A and B are shown apart, each in its own frame.
Chain A
Amino acid sequence: MPKFTRRQFLGASGALAGGLALSSLGIPLGALQAHARDLSKAGRIKTARTTISTCYYCSVSCGLLCSTDQKTGQIINIEGDPDHPISEGSLCAKGAAMFQMSDHNQHRLAKVLYRRPFGTEWEVKDWDWAVEKMARNIKSVRDQDFMYKNAQGQVVNRLETIGHMGSSKVDNEECWLITTMARALGLVHIDHQARV
C-alpha cells in the first residue's frame, strides 16, 4: 500500500483540469453567460433547503425529506429519506401523498362548506358558525337518545344514533384525540376510513 495523505487524494481531482479557465482555451462563453443571466433575472432560479422530518401518520415514523422554498417559505417537495434506517426512502400511499396536504395543493378545501338537509347547493360558512352548529346537533341528538341502561337494566351509558368515521388523513395523535372524544360522548359506532 503506497503512502498516502488526505491532501493528496483531495488534490487529485483538483489537478484534473490543470486549473485552466475556459476563456484561456478559446471557448466563447457569451451565450452561456447570457443564458445563466436570463435564468437569474427572470426569477427562474429557485433556492430551497431540505430538512429531515418524520411521517406523522402512524407509529412506524418513516423518514421524510422536506424541501422548502427559501424565498416564499412554502414547502415545494416531500419525499422519503433514503438514509433513514427503518424506511430507507419508502413511504406508504398516505405518506407518499403528504405533499398534497401542504399549501401547494390548490384543491384543498380552505373554507367550511355546508349543505342543508335536502339541499342541493353548498354554502360557505365560517368556522364559528360550523363549530356551534355541530355542537348543537350533537348535543341535541345525545340529549334525546343517550342510553343509560339496556333492556336488561345493565348500565351501558352509550349513544347509538351517532357514529364517527375517522379519516386516513389524520395523524396518530389526532386519531387518539378523536377516539377519546367519541367515547366520552358515549359513541360505540367508531370506525376508520382506512379500514372500510
Chain B
Amino acid sequence: MRPDPEARLRSYLDGLVDKTPALAGVVAAFGPLLIQQALVKDGLPPLTEPQPEIDASRLAAGVPLAPGAALLDGLDLTGYLRDAAPAILPALEQGLPALRGEVAALASALPGQAPRTEECLLALLDGEQAGCGGLAEGAGVSPEVLGFMLLALAKPLLEQRAVGLAPLLQGREWSQGCCPICGALPELAFLQGEGGQRWLRCSCCAHHWRFARMACPVCGNQDPEKREFFFAEGQERERVDYCTACGKYLLTLDLRGLDQKPMWAAAALGLVHLDLVARERGLVPAAVTPWNQLGSAE
C-alpha cells in the first residue's frame, strides 16, 4: 500500500538528513511547517472558482494570469486563515522555538484583526511589505517576522488555488522566467524527460512550467559566456545554475533516469548547502525562500 503523503514527506525529510547530515538543523526547523502545510493543502477543496478572465494577448506579452494578490481574488480568506492557523502556527513554533512569542502574538491577534491581517497578506503578495506596519506594531511583532508567518500560513491556499487555475493555461504559450499564474520567480529548476527539458517551480504558488535550458529566468540573459553552473563532485544531479550578467542563481535537480520524483515541497530545502556555496560566491537567489536567507544581515 502506498504510504500517506505525511509519511512520505517525513520519510523524504529523513532521507535528506541521512544523505547530508549537515541539513539536520534546517530540516528540524522547517520540517514540521512543511508537513502541516501539506496536510492543510490536502484538506482544501478544489479552488477552480472564480475563474479569472483569460486575456490571450496579455499572456502572450508575458503578463501572468493572476499576479500577486490577484491569486486570492474571490476566495474566503477569513475562513481559510481561521481554519489553517491552529494547524500551521504550532508547527512554526515547534520548528522555530525562537518565534514562540511572535507566534502567540499572531494567534491572539488573528480573531480580532481579520481585515487588517488579510490586508497585510495581500500587500505582501503584491510585494508591499510596508503595508503590514500597523498590524505588526499592534501585535508587537517585527514586520519581517509577521510577513514570514503570514506567508507561511497562506502557502497552502496559494498552492491549491494554483492547482485550480493551472488547467486554464493548458495549450497556451509561456516563455517567461516568472510563473504564468502568479508571476513569482522560481525557487527550483528540474531537468526531466529524455530530452532534458528544464522546468521551473514557482516559489509562491508551486506551479511548474517549462523554460529554456540556456536562458536566465531572472534577467533573460541567453549569452552562454555569462551563464555557468557548479556542483559537488559525485553529486552531479544537484547543481546551481547562475547568471554572471545579473548575479542570480537557481538550484537545479536533474531527475532524468530516476524512478521517483522528489517531494516537491521539501526539494529545495535539501539543497541548502549549495545555497551556502552560492552565497559564498556572492550570488543571490532568484527567489527568496524561508530557508535560503543565510546571512546575518539579509
- Known contacts A18-B147, A83-B212; decide if A8 and B124 are in contact (CB<8 Å): no
* B window 101-127: CB within 8 A of A: 124-127
> Is the CB–CB distance between B213 and A83 below 8 Å?
yes
B11 at interface, CB cutoff 8 A? no
> Is the CB–CB distance between A25 and B184 below 8 Å?
no
A39 at interface, CB cutoff 8 A? yes
What CA separation (Å) do A65 and B55 show in the bound complex?
35
> Is the CB–CB distance between A17 and B228 below 8 Å?
no
> Is the CB–CB distance between A15 and B227 below 8 Å?
no
1/0 contact trace for A1-12 toward B, CB 8 Å? 110100111111
What CA separation (Å) do A83 and B193 show in the bound complex?
13
> Is the CB–CB distance between A90 and B273 below 8 Å?
no
> Is the CB–CB distance between B148 and A13 below 8 Å?
no
What CA separation (Å) do A88 and B196 show in the bound complex?
9
What CA separation (Å) do A31 and B25 show in the bound complex?
8
B45 contact set on A, CB distance < 8 A:
none
> Is the CB–CB distance between B22 and A34 below 8 Å?
yes
Name the distance in Å between A191's Cβ and chain B's nearest Cβ.
32
A19 at interface, CB cutoff 8 A? yes
What CA separation (Å) do A24 and B144 show in the bound complex?
11
A47 at interface, CB cutoff 8 A? yes
Name the distance in Å between A69's Cβ and chain B's nearest Cβ.
10
- B210 — nearest CB in chain A belongs to which residue? A82
* Chain A interface, number of residues (Cβ within 8 angstroms): 54
Pick from B178, B227, B234: contact of A50, CB below 8 A: B227
> Is the CB–CB distance between A82 and B231 below 8 Å?
no
> Is the CB–CB distance between B203 and A45 below 8 Å?
no
B293 at interface, CB cutoff 8 A? yes
Pick from A8, A15, A26, A65: contact of B147, CB below 8 A: A15
A48 at interface, CB cutoff 8 A? yes
A194 at interface, CB cutoff 8 A? no
B287 contact set on A, CB distance < 8 A:
13-14, 16
> Is the CB–CB distance between A44 and B127 below 8 Å?
no
What CA separation (Å) do A33 and B295 show in the bound complex?
11
Name the distance in Å between A129's Cβ and chain B's nearest Cβ.
40
Name the distance in Å between B156's Cβ and chain A's nearest Cβ.
13
> Is the CB–CB distance between B233 and A44 below 8 Å?
yes
What CA separation (Å) do A27 and B73 show in the bound complex?
35
> Is the CB–CB distance between A88 and B195 below 8 Å?
yes
B2 at interface, CB cutoff 8 A? no
Pick from B55, B234, B297: contact of A44, CB below 8 A: B234
> Is the CB–CB distance between A11 and B227 below 8 Å?
no
> Is the CB–CB distance between B126 and A22 below 8 Å?
no
Name the distance in Å between B3's Cβ and chain A's nearest Cβ.
28
> Is the CB–CB distance between B96 and A26 below 8 Å?
yes
> Is the CB–CB distance between A32 and B26 below 8 Å?
yes
Name the distance in Å between A14's Cβ and chain B's nearest Cβ.
5
Pick from A16, A18, A39, A81: contact of B273, CB below 8 A: A39
B127 contact set on A, CB distance < 8 A:
7-12, 14-15
A40 at interface, CB cutoff 8 A? yes
> Is the CB–CB distance between B67 and A15 below 8 Å?
no
Could you name 26 residue pairs across A and B whose Cβ atoms are closer than 8 Å? A1-B53, A2-B70, A4-B64, A13-B187, A14-B127, A15-B124, A15-B147, A17-B151, A17-B289, A17-B292, A17-B293, A19-B129, A20-B148, A20-B293, A21-B296, A21-B297, A31-B25, A32-B25, A39-B277, A46-B230, A49-B224, A50-B213, A67-B229, A81-B214, A83-B212, A90-B194
Q: Which residues of B contact A (CB under 8 A)?
A: 20-26, 29, 52-53, 55, 58, 63-64, 67-70, 73, 96-99, 124-129, 143-148, 151, 178, 182-185, 187, 193-198, 202-204, 212-214, 224-225, 227-234, 272-274, 276-277, 280, 287-298
Q: In the complex, given contacts A21-B296, A89-B195, what are 12 additional A-B residue pairs having Cβ atoms less than 8 angstroms apart?
A: A10-B178, A13-B202, A13-B204, A15-B128, A17-B289, A19-B293, A22-B26, A27-B96, A39-B273, A45-B230, A89-B196, A90-B195
